[in-house]
Structure 1
Amino acid sequence: MATFSSVTRQHVLAALAEHDARGAEEFLDLYGFEPGVGTLTHEGRTYDARAVLGVAHKFATGRLARQDEFHGDLQATGLLSKRGFEVTEPASARRAVAAPSATRAPRAPRAPRASAAKTTTRTPSREERPPAICPTCFTVLPATGVCDACG
């Protein structure tokens, strides 16, 4: 399973440059990706989001994130948008995410809780006094109040 936390914007830009150099078809064939529905748009060109992110993972970690390691196009488009790229999510993925919230019942408001300040007691912090200093050698005095060096 691939984790994409190490993929930066620079890794994605390197994958985009390779995509431009090879062409879309050769890029997808070389790395074993099927055309997806999530797209990345950069400088007027469109790219397959999963393939670009998989190759960017290769630049970041040295290991290609294969197509079967993604949880659909939604994961790729979400990660790329967090890296500052313009992405288009597949319409089916947007509906799948929106559907569960539409079927949920509205949440009932909570009853107010008793104040925690009434049940807990705090001890006031003691004021910290500055340490006693020997007037002759300017060292901190021990608990006896008599300087070890000066006597």
Structure 2
Amino acid sequence: MKVYTLKTKQFLPISISEAWDFFSSPRNLKDITPSHMRFDIKYISGSEKMYAGQIIRYKLQPVPGVPVSWTTEITHVNEPHFFVDEQRFGPYSLWHHQHRFKEVDGGVEMEDEVNYAIPLGWLGQLANWLFVGKKVKAIFDYRFKVLEERFN
């Protein structure tokens, strides 16, 4: 199984508590996901406050007309410094997404690191090369732009 990694870093001129409040709320995912993907949260376990073990189920359309169900678990939480979400059921063989927040002069530095794998062996590798890798990067590019507009 080939594992791919995408890392992003962004400065936001907000406090670490503001960053945490925004990014630790699953409800805000829709705001930072391209609208053409039709992101829709179906279920959040427990309270709205993030905790290790929390389950979030949603549907989206990564490709127009192809709905996908996705279930993630919040596996690690160290408020306000980092949290990890991992796919439990969905399109990937592996999805491990680390969100890190660090106070810096004038705001917060936010880092994302996604490690993912696609099923189907060499066909999955071809799919990543042709479009999946580009799609994942485009989603994070979109997030970067939306966050720039929202917090600057």
TM-score by length of 1: 0.24
The structure with the greater share of residues assigned to helix is: 1
Larger radius of gyration: 1
TM-score by length of 2: 0.24
Q: Which one has more relative contact order, counting CA pairs under 8 Å at least 6 apart?
A: 2
The structure with the greater share of residues assigned to strand is: 2
